[in-house]
Amino acid sequence: MNSKDRITEQLKRVIKKGQVLTDLEDRYVYSFEKIFLDRIDIQPDIIVRVSSLKEENEVKRFFENKDAILIERGKIFSHNRNKSSKTIVLLDNVEIPTLKNCIDGTGKKDGSRAKFDKLDIKGYGTYRNLALALQNLFLGKTLTKCQQCTTCSGYCTVSSSFNGVESWSSKGRMLITRGIMKGDLIFSDKIVDILYSCTKCGLCYAQCFQDLEFHEAILYLRHLIAEKNLAPQVFHTAADNIFEHGDPSAIPTNRRLLRVKNISNLNLPEKANTLCWLGCTVATRTPKTAEAFINILNRSNTEFTTLGNKEGCCGYVLISSGLWEEAKKVANDTVERIEKTKAQTLVTPCSGCYYTFKRLYPEILDINMPCEILHTSQFLEKKIKTEEINLKPLDLNVTYHDPCSLGRHCNVYNPPRNVLKAIPHLNLVEMPLNRNCARCCGGGGGLWTFNNDVSLQSTQTRLKEDFIPTNVNILTTACPQCQLNFRFASRTKNFTERSLKIYDITELFELAMQFE
């Protein structure tokens, strides 16, 4: 056994083995520390990730009499040695900043980032253009910002679930992307795992979004992974279910409108100016939202129709997982069914569907929708402005969670708030982190399907760090996946003592429409 392997085995008896990193992927990510870029004669052989002063001291004592060189991350290294001598160990004792500290560090009293306020939603046209943009981005960048920076790790939704190991952070994924595109790395099981353990929430480009849009890079790499037939099987199963059942989870089509069928005086023509697209998650998993919105449409004298059992899935999970060819087939079929309704406007209560129709179809699949796309919040905002709906008071204190698909990805922040504020006596209390800076619920990017434990850990963080400080007991959102995540997380032992109620904004709006 060589020196490196012997030290590795001994270290695993000092601290948890998951904190002793020797994989090529980890060593590649940590090799971009400034200390190693400045000294081309050294590279880390082992990385030890510690999360407490106690662990740090134990590791330092361990190396007091070892034939190895221990380098603390971020500190100057002045040791002179021959290239072939001792094992180099990097001690990663950097405390990853919390999201709140990252934002507070900008100096803005309202807790929002100045750069974020100027965020320009831009498209790439087709995935070929996206590939070209990313090649220029990662092959030409010097990465000087990343050498001693941990800010984007603080923004990363899932980093804390992996003990802050840099490879599993936003920065790590960006460096792995660079390694793949430069040919320094190849797709391994670990890289696939790292790239799919991401919500694609977009928080990670808060610090450097003008240069680095990490979530776009991850989306493209997932496509490359799928092209090599290396995408996780769970997403292939979802694709099969979509083609066979019109639902990623294979829920039968006859369950899609069970709640809606009970609505009285409901007349759904084959063709109408407005098409209500519920989405598979809303139709089958948050049926109260579906019923509420159909009721609103019906009672507001809006001529509308639905695709009913023929609605199917928008294909978001396919695009997000990299299965773009399968997604294109779904998109073409979807557009064809929508065209038959002659609808001029499509309205959906699903943020994921809205994001897919509004941006992913044209930008990734090069497919344009045949009608205007509105989220329910935008539709209701228009109705309120034209005074078509009378609302009764609701004496409620509520807070609103910004879905990533609706907010950061589509820049829709005001309509949901305007809908809530239009309800008399309803008091909207903002969470400490909101709008562009809102923490992700953990359910996006396919993470809910790929790693449900990490997904729910992120949800619990959002509830604990941001919801509880509001001192309200009603959480409302505009995304069925967010709603589901919050419902599951709120049933854990950490939240059972609180009377936590979760609604979609359409449910509260419909409640205000009801007569005494």
Task: Give me the average pLDDT of each 10-residue run along the chain (516 residues).
Answer: 86 89 92 67 84 90 86 68 71 76 48 38 48 55 55 73 88 86 92 94 64 71 95 96 92 76 76 94 92 90 88 94 96 96 96 96 94 97 85 95 94 97 96 90 91 91 90 95 91 65 96 73
Percent helix, strand and coil across the chain, each to the nearest 5: 50, 10, 40
| Predicted local confidence at residue 125, as pLDDT | 47
- In the chain, count H helices and then E strands: 23, 12
Angle at 383 between CA 378 and CA 384, to 5 degrees: 95
DSSP 65-112: GSSEEEEETTS-------TTSSEEEEEE-PPPPPHHHHHHTT--TTS-
**Backbone angles phi and psi of 444, in degrees to 5:** -90, 175
Residue 217 CA, distance from chain mean position: 14
Residue labelled with tokens 């995408």: 231
| Predicted local confidence at residue 118, as pLDDT | 37
Q: Residues 327-330: contacts with CB within 8 Å, 24+ apart?
A: 327/364, 327/365, 328/365, 328/367, 329/243, 330/242, 330/243
| Predicted local confidence at residue 209, as pLDDT | 47
Q: Are strands 372-375 and 87-92 parallel, antiparallel or unpaired?
A: unpaired
| Predicted local confidence at residue 402, as pLDDT | 97
| Predicted local confidence at residue 202, as pLDDT | 83
Cβ 298 vs Cβ 266: under 8 Å: yes
Residues 97, 99, 103, 104: is their CA dihedral positive or negative? negative
**Backbone angles phi and psi of 158, in degrees to 5:** -105, -5
| Predicted local confidence at residue 107, as pLDDT | 35
Q: Are strands 427-428 and 304-305 parallel, antiparallel or unpaired?
A: unpaired
Write the single-letter amino acid at 425: H
| Bridge partners, 88 (sequence order) | 69
Cβ 295 vs Cβ 215: under 8 Å: no
**Cα–Cα distances in angstroms (integers) from residue 157 to residues 6, 15, 195, 406, 461, in the given order:** 35, 25, 13, 17, 9
| Predicted local confidence at residue 290, as pLDDT | 93
Q: What's the rounded Cα separation, in Å, for the pair 216 and 425?
A: 41
Q: What's the rounded Cα separation, in Å, for the pair 47 and 208?
A: 26
Nearest by Cα to 248 from 402, 352, 401, 361: 352
Angle at 125 between CA 444 and CA 310, to 5 degrees: 55
| Bridge partners, 375 (sequence order) | 348
Tokens of 454: 């990490």
Nearest by Cα to 233 from 456, 450, 453: 450
For 250-261, letters b (16+ CB in 10 Å) and e give: ebebeebbebbe
DSSP code of residue 474: E
The backbone region for 471, taken as left when phi is positive above 0, alpha when psi lies in -120 to 50, beta otherwise, is left
Q: Are strands 20-21 and 46-49 parallel, antiparallel or unpaired?
A: antiparallel
Nearest by Cα to 121 from 216, 217, 221: 216
Q: Domains along the chain?
A: 3-92 (3.30.43.10), 99-227 (1.10.1060), 233-384 (3.40.50), 391-513 (3.40.50.11810)
Q: What's the rounded Cα separation, in Å, for the pair 367 and 378?
A: 23
Residue labelled with tokens 């990343």: 146
Tokens of 210: 């003008």
Report which secondary-structure segment, H or E, holds 246: none
